[in-house]
Amino acid sequence: MSFCVTYQDIILASQRLNNKAILTPVFTSRTANKLVDAQLYFKCENYQHVGAFKFRGAYNAIANLSETQRRAGVLTYSSGNHAQAIAYASQLHNIRALIVMPEDAPKIKIAATKGYGAEIHFYDRYSQDREVIAQQLAKEQGLTIIPPFDYPDVIAGQGTCAKELIEEVGVVDYLIVPLGGGGLLAGSLIAAKSLLPAVKVIGVEPQLGNDGQQSLRKGEVVSISAPKTIADGAATTHLGMHNFPIIQSLVEDIVTVSDDDLVLMMRFFAERMKMIVEPTGCLAAAAVMKKVVSVEHKKVGIIISGGNIDLKQFASWVG
Ligand SMILES: *Cc1c(COP(=O)(O)O)cnc(C)c1O
């Protein structure tokens, strides 16, 4: 089977990210191990630049543009962690970044994006379609659109995280990965299955946003309406067209966890491991700790995907 991303692309992405991305730590917890009777290895992308793995894909995509494309600049229409990743990666490359954001986006996100030197184009999300606006702006201004997950260089960049994890801890039986649009999962699958053909890779979605699970069962991309979940980074409505074939062929299964499970997991990370993890970042760990996937006596890699969260909100959940 040949896919739009190969392991060679992930090796190249690793080389581009060398000394640019943070080689994030892998933590263990005896308490967590005891609770599920397994050896768990948490890859902590909450300590990545901009607080999420998204820096990897964004930086790799920009680094791989032509000189002409870079000179004109890039555009994206995601307002989540990808926006900050594009803004910061553009700053590092000294290029222009334009971020299309709803005018009622959280002030903290607007400030963070501007802080990295990006320009913001506001739109009214009740009357305007962000993708139409993005296409129009990109065309008028010669900008290259870098979408959050449905883009080979983004997938390859995200794959470097699983590669690092496996290179650090060696053979694992399972790799558990949060799933939104599928950039992280598709990249992780290519990396993990190339290094360890026998590894079982499992994607984890919020219960209310299980479009990926439905797609896997149906054998085609299923779209759902915008899910209501505290896992905002995985509140996507459908998998990407580049991502789905990779996921469909290589994933062991896609499982779900509830928002309540995510809150319990956030509390565990804060109390036991002294870490702030955003709800989406808790998806993979919650599936293991809740025993949605049973991993008894196994060695398990778990990706903690991000740590960006409003502190008041965090306090109300863990308090
Ligand atoms: C974007 C994001 C995800 C989901 O990644 P996809 O590549 O869209 O599947 C998971 N966790 C965090 C923290 C994110 O920002």
- Residues 2-26 have pLDDT tens digits of 899 999 999 999 999 999 999 999 9
Note the pLDDT of residue 41. 99
Main-chain phi, psi angles of 303, to 5 degrees: -95, 120
Average pLDDT, the chain: 96
Note the pLDDT of residue 128. 87
Q: Which residues of 184-222 are buried (b: 16+ CB within 10 A; e: fewer)?
A: bbbbbbbbbbbbbeebbbbbbbbbebbbbbbbbeeeebb
| Spatial contact of 131 and 138, defined as CB atoms under 8 Å apart | no
Give yes or no for residue 79 having a pLDDT over 80: no
Q: What is the pTM of this model?
A: 0.97
∠ CA 182-187-193, rounded to 5°: 120
Give yes or no for residue 149 CB within 6 A of ligand 1.
yes
Give yes or no for residue 258 having a pLDDT over 80: yes
Main-chain phi, psi angles of 51, to 5 degrees: 80, 20
Which residue is catalytic, options 187, 209, 233, 301?
209
Note the pLDDT of residue 131. 87
Note the pLDDT of residue 21. 98
Which residue is catalytic, options 153, 305, 306, 307?
305
Which residue is catalytic, options 43, 54, 109, 200?
54
Note the pLDDT of residue 224. 95
Give yes or no for residue 1 having a pLDDT over 80: no
Q: Summarize pLDDT for 277-305 with one digit per residue, the tens.
A: 999 999 999 999 999 999 999 999 999 99
Is 194 marked active-site? no
Q: How far apart (Å, rounded) are the C-alpha atoms in residues 167 and 79?
A: 32
Q: Summarize pLDDT for 152-172 with one digit per residue, the tens.
A: 999 999 999 999 999 999 999
Give yes or no for residue 205 CB within 6 A of ligand 1.
no
**Nearest residue (CA) to ligand 1, atom 5:** 180
Which residue, chain included where needed, has tokens 């959940």?
317
pLDDT band at 104 (very low <50, low <70, confident <90, very high): confident
Q: Summarize pLDDT for 210-239 with one digit per residue, the tens.
A: 999 999 999 999 999 989 999 999 999 999
Q: Show the tokens assigned to 168.
A: 């650090």
Complete domains list, the chain, with CATH: 7-53+152-318 (3.40.50.1100), 55-145 (3.40.50.1100)
Is 209 marked active-site? yes
Considering only CA atoms, which of 132, 208, 211, 184 is closest in space to residue 305? 184
Considering only CA atoms, which of 78, 76, 80, 22 is closest in space to residue 309? 80
Is 79 marked active-site? yes
Is 187 marked active-site? no
Q: Summarize pLDDT for 19-66 with one digit per residue, the tens.
A: 999 999 999 999 999 999 999 999 999 999 999 999 999 999 999 999
Note the pLDDT of residue 125. 82
Average pLDDT value for residue range 261-282: 98
Is 253 marked active-site? no
Which residue is catalytic, options 45, 150, 164, 205?
205
Note the pLDDT of residue 30. 98
Q: How far apart (Å, rounded) are the C-alpha atoms in residues 89 and 253?
A: 33
Give yes or no for residue 240 CB within 6 A of ligand 1.
no
CA of 45 to the centre of ligand 1 (A): 11
Note the pLDDT of residue 133. 95
Is 211 marked active-site? yes
